[in-house]
Amino acid sequence: MLMSIIRKEILSNLLSYKFSIITILSTILILVSIFVMYRDYCLAREYYEILQLPYAIPLTSEGKSEDTPVVIPPTPLGIFAKGLDDNLCRSYEREFGGGVSVSRNRQSVNNLFKLFTTPDLLYVIKVILSLCAMLFAFDIICGEKEAGTLRQSLSNDLKRPILIIAKWIGGFTSFILPFFIAVLLGTIFVTLSPMLDMNAQDWAKLGLFLLSSVIYLAVFFSLGLLISRLTHRPSTSLVFSLFVWAILVFLIPNLGNILARQLVRIPTVQQLELKREQIQIRRGLKVNRPQTTVHERMAAHERFNSEREMLGEDYRNRFNRLATISENITRISPAAAFTFLATGIMGTGMLEERKLKRAVLEYMDFAGNWDDRKGDRPAFRYQRSSFREALGPGGLGNCLILILFNVLFFTGAYVAFLRYDAR
Amino acid sequence: MLKTIIAKEFLNNILNLRFMIGLVFCLIITVACTIILSHDYRQELADYSHRVNLQDEFLSNYATRGLMFRMIPHQKPPERFRPLIIGISGNEDSKSFDDNPLPILFPPLDFLFIVTIIMSLLAILFSYDAITGERQSGTLRLVIANSIPRTKILFGKLVGGAASLLIPFIFSLLAGVLYINLNPNIQWDGSAWMELALLTAASITFITLFYLLGLMVSAFSRYSATSILSCLFLWVLLILVIPNVCPYISTQFYRIPSIKETERQDDENDSAYDEMERQRTREVLNRFRSNYGELFSKLESLGFGKILNDEIGDREKVEELAAADPQFRTMADAFRRALDQLRDEIRAMSREEKKKLWGDLDTKAAAQTSLAKNLACISPFANFVYVVRDLTGTGLRSVEYFDKAKAEYRRLFWLYVSKKEDDARRNNPTFSNDSFLDLGDYPRFEFKEESLRGKLGDVLPYWGILVLFNVVFFVAAFAGFMRYDVR
């Protein structure tokens, strides 16, 4: 019986207008997104080649020396979930006096990027396909009730649990099928391109990303099912579904960040940079005085360095607290949990950002203390988070949140359906 | 009859569940958003004042000519529309090691979001079944059976539907604005209120556009279920896809040199000019050595004539010697003039080269941005964003305007510093780049928002496109409804 209902559900979906329009939309979007982001990745690679070139550093005596900037290559996984990759792939250079200067973002010349969002696969799944999932599920129960077929089905020897499980499986399978086909086509296109070099770990990460996408979309499908059960007319269900979708996808993640800022006071970056600049100027004034002795210069350098370090450390501690609180608040939205999970897996998220900055600071310290008599200084080496690190406590937590949402919404729909008045 | 249709449509909508949900939802979000953003604005204002004070204090203690270029006091205050719309940042912010990456992952929530996402969705929900719903329930057939022209029915549906749709929007906006008005930290002048009125008008244009889109799709559909899916398909394309893809497409069609390439080129040019300066300084030194012999050696022994930096010389001692020996003074003055002349020449050449290099990048970047901007115009979302951001001083135009104001201030500030420096040199012959400059009365940087007249020139074409979208959708809805089979 279960199989027959699943088959019936899949067939009726495949023949519906809804299926055609969602298939067309998702296929076009996914392919366009992968193509556009692939081209963007090629530009990022070109930019990386330029950043990698050694840069000249002026010395106090006549002449100049060369140093290699600290920069990491863009990840091919950024094609699917770009996240903070443009920020991560800026070059870091050692400033005189122990600071770290950062090159401008690759896209900062075109200001229009500041107005709009990156159309990567993560965005397509998080925003558009989640909406499609709700559109697929909003009339599963109330639609049949309105058409009168639910009453007929239940008047036969058909158990309600079997009906709802079959509806979920059949509906979700027919929804997820076009998604997989489109992603497969996009991935084949990307794989055949010569610029891309993905290793086994990258493929595993991509697989995990797709798996988490399925779990995420299932959350919205189950939610649509729940709303369909809680309402009696498809039009009401649709209105509720769209508003709940807007709240979960847009409202909570954005509001969460704003709320976190109210809880943790953090100075603006401009204030931080101004203070740093002032420390540098005071240092310059102190050490460049002709009457300053070598000993006094050393002491001044040490004092200003520690003042600068303290300033940066204080800011970073506050910022990390802000990011943690913001992450915890926004996690009550599946969209935010999915964003953190996906960017964590792909190595383009907050976790990676913190890890890279820590590594850069450590390397800058190491480079500052390097004795040139020992030979050439080793170059900066950085390994993006492994599969295991990405699925650390934070990643696993986000994954569990998504599963929990699924269980919660499906159980809600299941329990409510057992008591549903089909008349 | 038209009034009856409008009243019926209006009543029908406001008694519907979607109206109540829309009203409550908009009201809660707008008020919550305004309260939080106003609080943010207060914090940013405090941060801005703190930065201004920091710079003031710093200048009064550490102002020296040599390091003045790092101390120019131009801080940007938060935009006055910050309690409603979060502005975009300039490029300086992206150069900090400790920047905040969270907004990249989650774009901010503000008035712009409420209108573009929530109100446009609500507009579609109000209109997707305006015609199909009545056809399915059979009422359209009954209405048409009477002597009511179809034009009147469509027009009545448009006016009644749009009026009911605008109630949640206007109520929410009024609640938000009331909070802003009662907040003592926010002081809006006449021009700000005028801008708010225009912002409301632009938002109404945008919202009715999506209402008309729903009406048009409804006029071409047989069933409400088909109509809503088609509407949402178009909504996704127009709001979520086209504007976001366009900047990426423009980078593919119009390639420009990267910033880093330009910076590297600039560094190379600087090195070449430094080398030229060293070379020519050597020539001057050799000339003076051969012309003045022993006398010039005396000046060199006091730390002057170093190829990289002659500011470390003992000026007081030179003054003593110059006072005692007129020939020494003539030589020292001639030497300084020769060095100043060669440096001025080389720096002028370097400045020219720099201007050309960065000007070239700016021109190409502007062309790429313009291409992306024009491509995105096929989406009403992009047009609305341009209108609202430029009108409220929270967009690209305001960043450019601030950069111009900053450049103008820099010019004034340098004039002031040069005057101060000349005075200081007159009063104290030993004045050097490391000497303290008293800048107690320096001209303060006061950023004034661009006038409305200036902004309107840029805003009106995009607003015109929004109106055009309205006209096109209405004409299409009209054409569809005229031939609509009501059975």
Extract the tokens encoding A200: 């086994």
Q: What are phi and psi of B469, to 5 degrees?
A: -55, -45
User: B296 or B246: which carries more pLDDT confidence?
Assistant: B246
Q: What is the pLDDT of residue B218?
A: 94
B348 occurs within a structural domain: no
Residue A157 to chain B, least CA–CA distance (Å): 31
- Mean pLDDT (chain B) is 86
Short-list A339, A280, A338, CA closest to A304:
A280
pLDDT in tens, chain A (423 residues): 778 888 988 898 888 888 888 888 888 889 999 998 998 898 888 888 888 877 655 544 444 455 677 889 999 999 999 999 988 988 888 776 667 888 877 777 777 787 888 888 999 999 889 988 998 898 888 888 888 888 888 788 778 888 889 989 999 999 998 888 899 998 888 888 877 888 888 899 999 999 999 999 999 999 999 999 888 888 888 888 988 998 898 888 888 877 888 888 888 888 888 888 888 888 877 777 667 777 877 888 888 888 888 888 888 888 888 888 988 888 899 999 999 999 999 999 888 998 999 899 888 888 877 776 677 778 888 888 888 888 877 788 899 999 999 999 999 998 988 887 767
- How deeply is A155 buried, as exposed, middle or buried, from its count of CB atoms within 10 A (0-12, 13-18, 19+)? exposed
pLDDT value of residue A46 = 87
pLDDT of residue B308: 47
Highest mean pLDDT among A284-288, B67-71, B268-272: B268-272
What is the average pLDDT across B426-449? 80
B246 and A CB contact within 8 Å:
yes
Q: Give yes or no for A52 touching B (CB within 8 A).
A: no
Q: How far is A414 from chain B (nearest CA, A)?
A: 25
- The pLDDT value given to residue B200: 95
Contact criterion met (CB < 8 Å) for A116 and B244: yes
Higher pLDDT, A356 or B253: A356
Residue of B85, B98, B116 to mutate, testing the A interface (most A Cβ within 10 Å of its Cβ): B98
pLDDT value of position A63: 43
- Mutate: best of B105, B261, B375, partner A, most A CBs <10 A: B105
B93 reaches A (C-beta below 8 A): yes
Mean pLDDT over residues B86-93, rounded?
69
With beta carbons under 8 A apart, name residues in chain B contacting A268. Answer: 44, 47
CB nearest to B259's CB, from A29, A109, A123: A109
Which chain B residue has its CA at the smallest distance from A93's CA?
A: B97
* pLDDT, tens digit (0-9, with 9 covering 90-100), for B159-193: 999 999 999 999 999 999 999 999 888 888 888 99
Tell me whether residues A17 and B93 touch, CB distance under 8 A: no
What was the pLDDT predicted at A290?
67
**Interior CA angle at B202 toward B199 and B207, to 5°?**
120
The predicted pLDDT at position A62 comes to 43
**Chain A: residue whose CA lies nearest to B385:** A115
Is A110 within 8 Å of B369 when comparing Cβ atoms? yes
Chain B residues inside the 8 Å CB shell of A62: 278, 307-308
pLDDT value of position A337: 93
CA-based nearest distance A144→chain B, Å = 13
Contacts of B251 in chain A (CB under 8 A): 40, 43, 107, 110
Q: Would you say residue B274 has pLDDT above 80?
A: yes
For residues A98 and B266, which has the higher predicted lDDT (pLDDT)?
A: B266
CB-based contact B259 A108, cutoff 8 Å: yes
For chain B positions 143-172, those within 8 Å of chain A (CB to CB) are: none
pLDDT at B306: 59
Query: Taking CA atoms, what residue in A is nearest to B269?
Result: A56
Residue B90 is predicted with a pLDDT of 62
Could you tell me what percent of chain B has a pLDDT over 70? 96
Instruction: Give the HSE-up count for residue A33: Cα atoms under 13 Å, Cβ half-sphere.
Output: 31
Are B121 and A108 in contact (CB < 8 Å)?
A: no
Contact B18 A239 (CB under 8 A): yes
How is B153-193 classified by DSSP, letter by letter?
A: HHHHHHHHHHHHHHHHHHHHHHHHHHHHHH-TT----HHHH
pLDDT of residue A56: 56
Is the Cβ pair B256, A275 closer than 8 Å? no
- Region B367-387: what's the mean pLDDT? 91
Query: Between chain A and chain B, how many beta carbons pairs sit less than 8 Å apart?
Result: 254
Of B17, B47, B372, the CB nearest to A110: B372
Establish if A254 touches chain B: CB-CB under 8 angstroms.
Answer: yes
pLDDT at residue number B94: 60
Give the pLDDT score at B321.
Answer: 77
Alpha helices in B93-238 (DSSP H): 102-105, 111-113, 120-127, 132-137, 139-145, 150-182, 190-219, 224-235
Average pLDDT over residues B132-160: 88
CA distance B329 to chain A (A): 23
Q: Which residues of B190-207 are buried (b: 16+ CB within 10 A; e: fewer)?
A: eebeebbebbbebbbbbb
Q: Can you tell me the distance from the alpha carbon of B260 to that of B263, in angstroms, rounded to the nearest whole number?
A: 5
Q: At residue B305, does pLDDT exceed 70? A: no
Q: Poorest-confidence range of B56-65, B69-78, B217-226, B428-437?
A: B428-437
Q: Is A315 on the interface with B (CB under 8 A)?
A: yes
Residue among B55, B67, B376 minimizing CB distance to A285: B67
Of the candidate ranges A370-374, B116-120, B251-255, the one whose mean pLDDT is the lowest: A370-374
More confident residue, A386 or B473: B473
- Does residue B74 carry a pLDDT above 60? yes
Contact A254 B107 (CB under 8 A): yes
The closest CB to that of B91, out of A104, A288, A323, belongs to A104
Written as six digits, the tokens of B212 are: 């008309």
Flag whether residue B67 sits within 8 Å of chain A, measured between CB atoms.
yes
Are A285 and B226 an interchain contact pair (Cβ–Cβ within 8 Å)?
Answer: no
Residue-level pLDDT at B472: 96
Candidates B260, B271, B281, B439: best to mutate against A (most CBs of A within 10 A) is B260
User: What spatial distance separates the first Cα and last Cα of chain B, rounded to whole Å?
Assistant: 23
Cβ distance A56 to B267 less than 8 Å, yes or no, reads yes
Which chain B positions have a beta carbon within 8 Å of A111's beta carbon?
A: 88, 369, 396, 399
CA distance B89 to A114: 8
Between residues A350 and B108, which one has the greater pLDDT? A350
CB contact under 8 A, B92 and A257: no
**Could you state, in order of their start, the residue ranges of all structural domains in chain A?**
2-265+333-418
Predicted TM-score of the model (pTM): 0.84
pLDDT band at B92 (very low <50, low <70, confident <90, very high): low
Cα distances from A343 to residues A105, A225, B79, B309, in angstroms, run 19, 28, 32, 50
Q: Which domain holds residue B188?
A: 2-91+105-256+447-482
The answer to whether residue A251 neighbours chain B at the CB level (below 8 Å) is yes
